[in-house]
Structure formats: C-alpha cells, structure tokens
C-alpha cells in the first residue's frame, strides 16, 4: 500500500478531474466544493486505482466513492450489474441510493438498492431491467444470487462502505463470498470510519496496490467531550443514572455484564426512563429494534455491554454513562466515543465506587483527562431541592415525580466539569460541515435531530 496525494486541498471538483456534466449536477444539488476525503480520494479513484479511505461519519464518503463510480461505469445488462456498493444496513443503502441518484441520472445510469425486510417484487423488476449501480446489503444480495437474479461477474467497480461496521456486525464472511464473485479485473474501494485488523484483511485479499487516504482523527476526540467522574455508593448508581439520562437526553449506559445490563434496564424503567438493551445474548433483531427505538427517540437510554456496543453507530448521543467501570483505557475511549460524534459534543459520566477509585485514577492518567472527582452530591440537591426521582411503584406511575422545579429538569451544574480540557479550538480536518446554496446540510454541530443509524 502506498500513499499518494496529488491534489491541492483547495482544488475544485473540476480540478480533481470530475467531468463537467457531473460537476454541473453537483452544483445543482448544492454541492460546490469537495470535502477533504473527497479531495484526497477522487483523483485516485478516477484514475482507476484501488482506494482505502478512512474518514469520520458525515465527512462525505458516499460521494467520494460515488462520483468516480458514476464517471467510470459501463451500462449493465439485465441481472448483471457493473457497479456494486455493499452497505451494512438498509437505512444506509437507501441513503446511498438517494445521494447517487442525481449523478446517475445525469449519466443515464441506474441505481437501485436491495435489502432484506421488504418484498422481492420491486427488486426483481429492477434487476430484470438492468441495474448499473447496485447498492446492496450482503444477506439479501446473497439471496438474490441464489435465486439466479444477480450475477456479479460483470462488476468492475466494487465498494464496501463502512467496512469496519460490516466487520462489527459479523458480515465479513458474506462480504468475502460476494467479492469473490465479482470480476477479477475490478477496481476495489473500501471506506471505513476506522482501520482495524479486519479491514486490513479485506485490503490484503481484495485490493491491488491500494492507495490509503486518511482524514480526520483516528480515535474519538476526547477533548470534545465533557468528562465527569462521580464518587458514588453502589446503591445510588441507578437513581443517579436515571438523573443523568433525564438531565442530558439520549444516553448510552454501559454495564459490565449482560445480566447487569438487563437488571439496570429493568430498574431504570422503574424510574420512568424508557430503555432498550443491547448485549450479546440478544438476537440481531432485538438489537436492531432496540437501536431503532433509540435512534427514533422512543427510548432515552440504551443499556449496553462493551462487545455489543461495537455495532452502535448513532449520531446524536448526548451522554455516555460508565455505569460500571470500563475494562481499560481503550474501552473507555471506545465507549465514550459513542457520543460527540460527527462534530457534536457530549457528556461522559463515570460512576466511581470506592473500590474503583485506584483504577480510575490510573485510567485518567492513561487517557490524559485530568479532572476532579465530584462528590457524591445527595441526589435531592442535584434536583434543585426537589425530592429525588422515586421509582414507580406499581404500574400507574403515580408515584413519579415529574415536577422537577424551575430548571425545567435540566441540571447541568453538578460541580466541577472537566477543567476546560474540552473544546480546545482544534480544527478538525475531514469534518466538512457546510453545504452550498441549497444548504441541505447545515452543520455537524449540535444537530441532534440528525441522529442516524450508521
């Protein structure tokens, strides 16, 4: 693998080599200047090279692989797509299709998405007509191949989007099976938010002399979050967790064990917090549903174990609670990175019992976060003197105190924050955050309604 960067960072789409008709269409769509990952990868992809791209969520990876694909792609015959984009989820598949449709139309190319959970009818019809760019979730595509509806032999441009997430969700074996069926002379492009071992395995096996482009920080930016460490008695954990969720909004609460996650979810419910649970003993379907309810705001807290959390890619998480301490600094970083994604900020709260104190001090040194341990403020005090939230006894919910005083329930002033180590004004390359005339996208910052499953 080699690195090549030929374009100047301020080059226009035309200067990157994007054909005029596509530049024009991009302009109409309000996309006037390339984001960094696009500047980095488009010239190489247009030149036919295999590309491995790493960039954070929301940095514009879809067009980074989509523009060169549209520019280079031949027309497909029925059932034999020439371009393939593998996506881990239906939502993302649809998103990609929508984003690429205008460009495809300009070049009289067709783009269609196939995924499970819906009927075959429309998908079969499209394949019969011929799909140039097939956006596909691995499972459904395999199904369609088994039915003789798709033949990947003519695929000359193959993309795996969100390769790390594919790996997290256990799709790699299927992805390999699919890539094995594509044309041997294909161009292969991988995009990912992180580059781990598994992505490396894909690269080694399927890419030739790939050029790697990385944009933005490799690890979650810990300075973007407000870190808080609260000394607490074990018996107070649940009520404080309920309080934190209510104060901050959409929260992910990390527990050490599956059993513990179930228990905390049950207990939080008694405090009137709507919860979902994600851990290894739940089926993929249960996890998907829990994630969906959370993304849609139907639940406020997602209770998760570490392993299961690897598959959680959601923007707009306001708060991460380390209900049980993380295994180590890596786990702290990984868990905490569920918030403050895509340019937003977030709060990270660690519960520290006296047994955890020593390890937590060590952890703070390792991650370079220096902040005071907050005292276990009596919960009543946190609540502006209002009575603490009581668990609902019985189903009526009558015992619950929702009258949370003048503060409107937002109590953020629980003493020492993280000593100003957040928001240190660093610029973040790779986080393109503005959009042209149409203003389809305002900013990655504070845009909580943009929570998207990724």
**Footprint of ligand ADP on this chain (CB under 6 A)?**
31, 34-35, 38, 55, 57-63, 99, 432, 435-436, 440-441
Nearer to ligand ADP, 138 or 325 (CB): 138
* Long-range CB pairs of 408-416, under 8 A, 24+ apart, other chains included: 409/246, 409/247, 410/247, 411/243, 411/247, 411/382, 411/383, 411/384, 412/247, 412/248, 414/228, 414/230, 414/374, 414/377, 414/382, 415/372, 415/374, 415/375, 415/377, 416/228, 416/371, 416/372, 416/374
Nearer to ligand ADP, 57 or 275 (CB): 57
Which of Mg ion, ligand ADP, none does residue 282 bind (CB under 5 to 8 Å by kind)?
none
Supply the minimum distance, in Å, between the C-beta of residue 258 and Mg ion: 30
Report d(CA 34, CA 11) in Å as an integer. 8
CB neighbours of residue 164 within 10 Å: 20
Nearer to ligand ADP, 421 or 443 (CB): 443
Nearer to ligand ADP, 273 or 340 (CB): 340
DSSP calls for 122-170: HHHHHHHH--SEEEE-HHHHHHHHHTTS--GGG--EEEESSHHHHHHTT
Supply the minimum distance, in Å, between the C-beta of residue 61 and Mg ion: 4
128-to-78, 80, 152, 199, 344 alpha-carbon distances in Å: 5, 9, 14, 33, 43
Which of Mg ion, ligand ADP, none does residue 59 bind (CB under 5 to 8 Å by kind)?
ligand ADP
Supply the minimum distance, in Å, between the C-beta of residue 446 and ligand ADP: 16
Supply the minimum distance, in Å, between the C-beta of residue 42 and ligand ADP: 10
Supply the minimum distance, in Å, between the C-beta of residue 43 and ligand ADP: 15
Nearer to Mg ion, 61 or 322 (CB): 61
| Residue of 146, 101, 99, 94 lying closest to 115 (CA atoms) | 94
Which of ligand ADP, Mg ion, none does residue 431 bind (CB under 5 to 8 Å by kind)?
none
Report d(CA 15, CA 46) in Å as an integer. 12
Which of ligand ADP, Mg ion, none does residue 63 bind (CB under 5 to 8 Å by kind)?
ligand ADP
Supply the minimum distance, in Å, between the C-beta of residue 144 and ligand ADP: 24
Residues of this chain, 34-63, that bind Mg ion according to CB under 5 A: 61
Which of Mg ion, ligand ADP, none does residue 275 bind (CB under 5 to 8 Å by kind)?
none
Which of ligand ADP, Mg ion, none does residue 34 bind (CB under 5 to 8 Å by kind)?
ligand ADP
Report d(CA 190, CA 217) in Å as an integer. 18
Nearer to ligand ADP, 20 or 146 (CB): 20
Which of Mg ion, ligand ADP, none does residue 35 bind (CB under 5 to 8 Å by kind)?
ligand ADP
- Give every CB contact of residue 333 below 8 A, 6+ residues apart in sequence: 219, 220, 222, 367
Residues of this chain, 60-99, that bind Mg ion according to CB under 5 A: 61
Report d(CA 29, CA 32) in Å as an integer. 8
Instruction: Tell which phi-psi region holds residue 292, choosing left (phi > 0), alpha (psi between -120 and 50) or beta.
Output: alpha
Supply the minimum distance, in Å, between the C-beta of residue 30 and ligand ADP: 7
Q: Coil, strand or helix: which one is 448?
A: helix
Nearer to ligand ADP, 31 or 178 (CB): 31
Supply the minimum distance, in Å, between the C-beta of residue 14 and ligand ADP: 13
Which of Mg ion, ligand ADP, none does residue 7 bind (CB under 5 to 8 Å by kind)?
none
Note the residues at the interface with Mg ion (CB under 5 A). Answer: 61
């Amino acid at each position: 693998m080699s690195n090549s960067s030929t374009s100047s960072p301020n080059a226009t789409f035309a200067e990157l080599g994007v054909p005029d008709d596509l530049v024009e269409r991009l302009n109409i769509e309000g996309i006037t200047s390339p984001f960094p990952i696009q500047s980095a990868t488009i010239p190489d992809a247009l030149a036919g090279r295999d590309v491995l791209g790493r960039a954070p969520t929301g940095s514009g990876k879809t067009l980074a692989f989509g523009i060169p694909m549209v520019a280079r792609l031949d027309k497909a015959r029925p059932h034999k797509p020439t371009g393939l984009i593998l996506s881990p989820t239906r939502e993302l598949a649809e998103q990609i299709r929508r984003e690429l449709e205008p460009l495809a139309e300009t070049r009289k190319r067709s783009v269609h998405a196939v995924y499970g959970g819906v009927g075959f009818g429309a998908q079969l019809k499209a394949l019969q007509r011929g799909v140039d760019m097939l956006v596909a979730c691995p499972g459904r595509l395999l199904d369609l191949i088994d039915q003789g509806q798709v033949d990947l032999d003519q695929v000359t441009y193959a993309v795996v989007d969100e390769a790390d997430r594919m790996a997290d969700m256990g799709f790699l074996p299927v992805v390999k099976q699919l890539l094995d069926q594509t044309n041997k002379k294909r161009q292969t492009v991988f995009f990912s938010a992180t580059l781990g071992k598994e992505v490396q395995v894909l690269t080694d096996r399927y890419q030739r002399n790939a050029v790697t482009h990385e944009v933005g920080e490799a690890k979650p930016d810990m300075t973007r979050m407000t870190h808080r460490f609260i000394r607490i008695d074990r018996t107070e954990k649940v009520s404080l967790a309920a309080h934190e969720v209510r104060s901050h909004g959409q929260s992910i609460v990390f527990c050490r064990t599956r059993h513990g996650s179930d228990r905390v979810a049950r207990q939080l419910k008694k405090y009137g917090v709507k919860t979902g649970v994600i851990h290894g003993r739940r089926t993929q379907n249960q996890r998907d549903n829990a994630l969906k309810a959370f993304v849609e705001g139907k639940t406020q807290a997602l209770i998760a174990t570490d392993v299961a959390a690897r598959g959680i890619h959601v923007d707009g998480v306001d708060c991460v609670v380390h209900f049980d301490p993380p295994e180590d600094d890596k786990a702290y970083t990984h868990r905490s990175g569920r918030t403050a994604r895509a340019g937003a900020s977030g709060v990270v709260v660690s519960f520290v019992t006296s047994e955890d104190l020593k390890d937590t001090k060590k952890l703070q040194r390792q991650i370079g976060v220096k902040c005071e341990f907050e005292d276990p403020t009596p919960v009543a005090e946190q609540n502006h003197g209002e009575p603490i939230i009581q668990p609902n006894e019985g189903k009526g919910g009558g015992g619950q105190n929702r009258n949370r005083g003048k503060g409107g329930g937002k109590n953020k002033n629980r003493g020492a924050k993280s000593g100003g180590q957040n928001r240190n004004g660093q610029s973040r390359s790779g986080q393109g955050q503005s959009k042209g005339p149409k203003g389809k996208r305002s900013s990655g910052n504070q845009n909580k309604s943009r929570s998207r499953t990724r």
